[in-house]
């Protein structure tokens, strides 16, 4: 879906900062932290986080904290689980379906932690 349409469907004003952030996140193959994005966007940290807070409020993006104490962000196209390696801190999107439910609960995010394939081979 085009970013302009995505933003407008959520009732948000389309700004250059919002387009920049969403383009960067939507083109990524994994969740990104501010440190991974900051050199590719033309805004200060406060503007970035102000827009991120609005995106989270409107459920345009998902975020979570990793082992490295950084917050990671991704566009909320299709909710899916993530795997975080305890050794190398690599974050992977899990493509395999996980059948997991809790009676009476709505699950919004699943974070799995352990040792990734690469670190297991060392």
CATH number of the domain residue 38 falls in: 1.10.10.10
Residue 9 shares a structural domain with residue 41: yes
CA dihedral for 37, 56, 98, 87, sign (positive or negative) = positive
Among 48-57, 71-80, 92-101, top mean pLDDT goes to 48-57
Share of the chain above pLDDT 90, in %: 75
Residue 16 shares a structural domain with residue 37: yes
Residue 9 shares a structural domain with residue 37: yes
Q: Which domain holds residue 96?
A: 82-120
Residue 70 shares a structural domain with residue 93: no
Q: What is the DSSP letter of 40?
A: G
Share of the chain above pLDDT 70, in %: 99
More confident residue, 76 or 15: 15
What's the pTM value of the predicted model, to 2 decimals? 0.83
> Residue 68 in 3-state DSSP?
coil
Instruction: Please give the tally of structural domains in the chain.
Output: 2
* pLDDT of the residue at 14: 92
Residue 13 shares a structural domain with residue 64: yes
| Contact call for residues 48 and 14 (beta carbons, < 8 A) | no
* pLDDT of the residue at 108: 80
Band (pLDDT 50/70/90 cuts) for residue 55 is very high
- Quick one: 118 exposed, middle or buried, by C-beta within 10 A (0-12, 13-18, 19+)? exposed
Residue 86 shares a structural domain with residue 57: no
Residue 34 shares a structural domain with residue 86: no
Q: pLDDT by residue (tens digit) across 83-102?
A: 999 999 999 999 888 887 89
* pLDDT of the residue at 4: 87
Residue 22 shares a structural domain with residue 62: yes
């Amino acid at each position: 879906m085009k970013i302009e349409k995505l933003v407008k469907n959520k009732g948000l004003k389309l700004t250059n900062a919002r387009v920049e952030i969403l383009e960067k996140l939507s083109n990524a193959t994994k969740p990104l932290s501010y440190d991974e994005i900051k050199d590719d966007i033309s805004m200060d940290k406060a503007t970035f986080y102000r827009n991120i807070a609005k995106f989270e409020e409107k459920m345009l993006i998902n975020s979570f904290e990793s082992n490295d104490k950084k917050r990671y962000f991704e566009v909320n196209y299709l909710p899916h689980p993530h795997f975080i390696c305890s050794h190398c801190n690599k974050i992977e999107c899990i493509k395999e379906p996980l059948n997991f439910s809790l009676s009476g609960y709505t699950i919004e995010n699943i974070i799995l932690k352990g040792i990734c394939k690469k670190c297991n081979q060392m």
